[in-house]
Structure 1
Amino acid sequence: MSTAPDLKFAFGNFNYICSTVSLTLCPLVGGPDGIEPVCYSRNVRIADTLIFQPSTLIIHIIALIMTAIMIYHIRSKYTAVGRKEIIMFFYLYMLVTIMDLLLVSGIIPTASQLYPYFTGVHIGLISATFWCLLLNGFVGFQFAEDGTPLSLWSIRISSLVVCAAVAFLSIATFRNMSPFDPLHPVALWVVFFIFNGASLLIYVILQIVLVVNTLDDRWPLGDIVFGIAFFATGQVILYVFSLDICNFAKHYIDGLFFGTIATLLSVMMVYKYWDSITKEDLEFSVGSKQNVWEVKELMADDELAQGRMYQQGPGGGGGGGFGYGSQPGYGQPNYYEERY
């Protein structure tokens, strides 16, 4: 049975973490051959292709489906505040999931010369996702009106800069470009844990302030609490209990499986929170057309009962100036038909 590694957690060092759970960067730091976890999920062979972490791969596919559904619902809320801003976060999360799927499953093998570059982009996308979420935390305060070029392009450009900078830092560390060293990846460790964690913490604080000071409803605070609980639980399982889970499940699953599930649930709570604090203007929504059609049908019944009140006038002409004689193109019923 695998036991916990005889290592201690240290600032700026991935040795203990990578000995516990197989992160995508672990084969590239800590030594010439990277760091291999003590216990990890067993692989399967499909069509002469070796697939690692098959259970986690299934969760990644489910995450992509769920993210696509959330993006669809966000896009359908045409007048919701911050719709275009928050959708960038979900697009970035989808890209992170795709990269994680390719790297963790071994579709891009660690022996490939492209693996360090894909891993660098993957880490850059993770940081860009946290940064995008942080900026979305300011949208509700209306420092810049949502949906405007200033609001949208500030998030897009800054997220791209963060992604490029972190990707360069990661690749430089993996390739041992001075002054970055894969044996002591302190800068990468700071970005991976402190920068990303601080971005998430600031976003949570901003949303609590927004709900308390702006909204009359306090129920969105529950969405925030559940989201943080899911994320924190996933991180604890990933970095603390991964070996215990792997040994107990006899290598069928490990902490990465439950960590991926918890991350998906926390992202879903971000959507649930945003949906709970945004109200769509029904006057301009597609769903309001149903009510218009109902009004039209009721008016048609009234007209039949009253003898075509808009076109009936003395001598068959349009009386009262509503029907404009016998011309059918200007009556009220035709107005609804032309408009809807």
Structure 2
Amino acid sequence: MPPQPVLVFGSFDYVCSQTALPLCPLVGTSLVTPSCYARNIEISTGTLLFEPATIFIEVIALIMTAVMVYNIKSKITLGTVPLGCKEIALLLYLYAATLVNEFFLVSGIIPMASPAYKYFVATHIGLIVAGFWALAFNGVVGFQWFEDGTPLSLWTLRGSSFAVFFVSFLVSILTFTSSGGLNSAYPTLLYIIYFILPLVFLIVYGVLQTILIVNTLDDRWPLCDLFFAYLFFVVGLCLQFGLSTGLCNIANHYIDGIFFGCVFTLLGVMMVYKYWDSVTRDDVEFAVGGKPDDNMYLLDNHIIS
């Protein structure tokens, strides 16, 4: 039995030994697979569906994302445009696109032997990193350095998100094909883009929103939503990359780390949405001590004339 890989900066060997990430067959000096992964099911003669439990959760996540987007659109229809509603909607669109892409990869609909596989994986990585960038951008919106919902704000978000996506996609493809000075055996730059950049964007969002709440709101309850968003994200990482093998064995190969990563990412996204909703609503659900309504929530809502 080969020795268990250890966590090394710039190497995916350890995480691939815990969870079967879509990029794992495309990087490293040798193919590293987890000792326990979710069993597949046969949907027709000779046709296998991989990660059925994860696929089910991804469908649920798409439905919940559609509900959140619908609620955002409903607020606009009712005559008010809450702060950053179009920007948070773009974040949810990126999350939905990531889910759709991941669905094709983890289910085996796009097989690893397919020439298109590496392009789908590169797209998946690009969408993940762009989604975290969009989250960080949403953290800036509340400071009103430029007015939210305007063409300047929206096109800055769209353009910068596309730039982040394109750079991540390009680095991924060059790494997978060992081109442009990059090497699939030593994917350090891809490691930084896949793990470090999203972490930086996540921290930036949390710091900015904490500063905004402390300096702007009399109410501190939204910090609870923010706390749980980060808690779910951290728990998901621990379960996916630290406890995946043990949980998979306990569950008799019915679920693995990818399943838990998907579940807790969904919970984290839902708490980000709940946090945004709690700091932009008009009512006084979280009112404490009879504070004036116009001081309760993050700046004023924009009224459609």
Q: Same fold judged by TM-score > 0.5?
A: yes
Task: Describe the SS at the equivalent of 1:46.
Answer: strand
Q: State the 1:283 CA deviation.
A: 10
Structure 2 counterpart of 1:193, from 192, 195, 207: 195
C-alpha separation in 1, matches of 2:301 and 2:133: 32
Q: Map 1:171-190 to 2 at 5 A.
A: 171-190=173-192
Describe how 1:231-270 pairs up with structure 2 within 5 A: 231-270=233-272
Q: Corresponding residue for 2:5?
A: 7
Instruction: Show the counterpart of 2:296.
Output: none
For residues 159-308 of structure 1, what are the structure 2 equivalents within 5 Å?
Answer: 159-280=161-282
Kindly tell me the number of residue pairs found equivalent between the two proteins. Answer: 282
Give unpaired runs (5+ residues) of structure 2.
283-299
Greater Cα radius of gyration, structure 1 or 2: 1
Preserved contact between residue 83 and residue 301 of structure 2 (Cα < 8 Å): no
Question: Identity across aligned pairs (percent)?
Answer: 50
Find runs of 4+ consecutive structure 1 residues off by over 6 angstroms: none
Bigger RCO (CA 8 Å, 6+ sep): 2
2:63 alignment counterpart: 65
- What does residue 294 of structure 2 align with? none
Distance in 1 between residues matched to 2:302 and 2:215, nearest whole Å: 27
Are the equivalent residues in 1 in contact too, given 2:82–2:302 (CA < 8 A)?
no
**One-letter amino acid matched to 1:19:** S
TM-score normalized by structure 2? 0.89
SS at match of 2:10: coil
Change (3 A) 1:4 1:38: farther
TM-score by length of 1: 0.80
CA distance in 2, matches of 1:273, 1:7: 39
Answer yes or no: is the 8 Å Cα contact 1:81–1:279 preserved in 2: no
Amino acid at match of 1:76: S
Match of 2:36 in 1: 39
2:139 aligned partner, one-letter code: G
User: Which amino acid letter does the alignment assign opposite residue 23 of structure 1?
Assistant: L
Q: Which runs of 5+ in 1 are unaligned?
A: 286-340
- 1:17-96 to structure 2, matched below 5 A, reads 17-31=15-29, 34-48=31-45, 49-78=47-76, 79-96=81-98
List per-residue Cα deviations over 1:9-40 (Å, max 9, x = no partner). 000000111011011100111136x3222211
Describe the superposition over 1:33-62 as per-residue Cα deviations: whole angstroms up to 9, x where unpaired.
Answer: x32222110100102321111100100000
AA aligned to 2:200 is A
- Identify the residue that residue 289 of structure 1 maps to in structure 2: none
Contact 2:98–2:127 (8 Å) recurs in 1 = yes
| More helix per residue | 1
Structure 2 SS opposite 1:55: helix
Corresponding residue number in structure 2 for 1:140: 142
Residue-by-residue CA offset, 1:289-333 (whole Å, 9 max, x unaligned): xxxxxxxxxxxxxxxxxxxxxxxxxxxxxxxxxxxxxxxxxxxxx
